[in-house]
Amino acid sequence: MRDLTISLLQRELAWEDAAANRRVFQQDLAQLAGKTDLVILPEMFTTGFSMRAEIIAENEAQATLPWMIEQARAHDFAITGSLAVRSGEGIYNRLLFVTPDGEVSHYDKRHLFRLSGEHRHYRAGTERQRVSWRDWRICPLICYDLRFPVWSRNAGDYDLLIFVANWPAKRRLHWRQLLIARAIENQSYCVGVNRVGSDGNRIDYCGDSLVLAADGKMLLDCEAEAGAFTVSLDATAMNEYRRKFPCHEDADNFKLT
């Protein structure tokens, strides 16, 4: 297992304008070619956190997924982020994880944010996802999932926990503290990628994208700055910490049903 270099794209999002957002992110992706293994975009990175699901949702093979495949292949890194996707008879807040060889995995947001009415416009996912990329086992989750530790519990099956988000500035304390908690309790690298700016509902976002080590140490704090941020995750350090402090061996044995 080698080290993994990851890049976080913390940007303001054009409201409900997928083409404009892809153009901005495409510039970032081109600058990261040859410099990273994995690029992480925010939640609903093509539109912002819009509840107009019927209008903004893309079909599974519409514009954004082919674009992600093209960008991953061109630059030889994986790309992940969520968007509104129409699948079957429902619409999901769906995270896509795309590798350079065109392999696509997805995770549908489990916990829908009822304060915004998300549960009335999107269907909830029912299954957790584990993605393997360059020898790392990755658990990708979305925004409000961060508040539910049982759903993100590490059963010895991942090394990197990712949360993509549109997390509002007025609850930034919760965002930062919960990310630290998730890293410590799961003895895993934990990454949260948020957005900046204001959306079409006049909700403000302050960024605060973070990268945390398995012991909770802060490795990267993007604060409120817009841009691309890159950091390397040390596999040896994580495994050595788990070996020296094996609290996972005393974890309660249970499964979600």
Helices (H), the chain: 18-31, 53-56, 64-75, 118-121, 172-186, 235-244
Distance CA(107)–CA(91), nearest Å, equals: 13
Catalytic, out of 16, 43, 58, 118: 43
Amino acid at 109: K
CA-closest candidate to residue 131, choices 175, 96, 156: 96
The separation between CA 20 and the C-alpha centre of its own chain, rounded to angstroms, equals: 20
Active site residue 143: yes
Separation in Å, CA 139 to CA 34, 197, 200, 234, 253 = 24, 27, 30, 17, 19
Structure tokens at 204: 């403000």
Separation in Å, CA 158 to CA 130, 135, 145, 220, 238 = 7, 11, 16, 20, 12
Sign of CA dihedral 134, 42, 189, 3: positive
Separation in Å, CA 11 to CA 25, 37, 133 = 9, 20, 25
Catalytic, out of 139, 143, 190, 222: 143
Catalytic, out of 16, 58, 109, 139: 109
Catalytic residue set: 43, 109, 143
